[in-house]
Amino acid sequence: MYLTTGVLDLTGLFDEVRSTDGAVCVFVGVVRGESGGRETVAIEYEAYGPMAESEMARIAESLSRERPDVRVRVLHRVGRLAVGDASVAVVATAPHRDEAFAACRAAIEGIKTTVPIWKKEIRPDGTGEWVDATQG
Amino acid sequence: MLVRVLFFASFRDAAGREEEDRELPPGSRVSDLWSSLSRDIAPLSRFPVMPPAAVNREYVPAGTELHDGDEVAFLPAVAGG
């Protein structure tokens, strides 16, 4: 399971991958209260659910295939999130910190590039705007 | 043949619907479906190039041939994270 509508359980994720490997790198993305100088009060995340699940699985599996001693767990939240809520979490484990940092970074960059998830920033007046990551 | 088209995010707003079934001539490719959609849905015709497409939940090139019952989605620029 790679998508959830509930609060991200960071402790649970950490427990899932915890090993005696030596290094665990955690990245958590959080809803920002500002975008391009404009206030954001919430973000609505939407996913092409089944495809987002399979793309995130593919990212995690390909990182483990490249480095068999690396394990990656990713989880993305969808629905309406408030400023400060965690939207995405990546937990990467490896024998040493270099590999753990690299896998964690590669996973979040992969998520942002290929996983079909979209976000609409909600302004204080209630209007919303789809974010186009390829603009600006 | 009939394909199921899914619309997400800004494309759903543009189309005014989440999905539709669309009849296409046999042998049609993903790019033919995009042409057909952008003829009917004005905001989509403003895209200079075809957006990334997925058939049955996997990214595919524009020249991919479609088959009856395929689930096709054109994907607005993704913005997860």
Q: Please report which confidence band the pLDDT of residue A57 belongs to, taking 50, 70 and 90 as the band edges.
A: very high
List of chain B residues whose C-beta atoms are within 8 Å of the C-beta of residue A112: 78-81
Does the beta carbon of B6 lie under 8 angstroms from any beta carbon of chain A? yes
Does the beta carbon of A8 lie under 8 angstroms from any beta carbon of chain B? no
Architecture of the structural domain at B2-74: Roll (3.10)
With H, G, I as helix, E, B as strand and everything else as coil, classify residue B21. strand
Can you tell me the ipTM of this complex?
0.94
Dump pLDDT digits (tens) for A72-95.
999 999 999 999 999 999 999 999
- Residue in chain B nearest A46 by alpha carbon: B9
Listed by number, the residues of chain A in 110-129 with a beta carbon closer than 8 Å to a beta carbon of chain B are 111-120
User: Would you kindly state where each structural domain of chain A is located, as residue ranges?
Assistant: 3-126
Architecture of the structural domain at A3-126: Alpha-Beta Complex (3.90)
Task: Encode A95-123: b = buried (16+ Cβ within 10 Å), e = exposed.
Answer: eeeebbebbbebbbebbbebbbbbbbbbe
> Nearest Cβ partner of A48 from B13, B73, B81?
B73
Residue A21: what pLDDT? 75
Average pLDDT over residues B29-52: 93
Q: What is the DSSP string of A35-74?
A: ETTEE-SEEEEEE-HHHHHHHHHHHHHHHHHHSTT-EEEE
Number of Cβ within a 10 Å radius of residue B32: 16
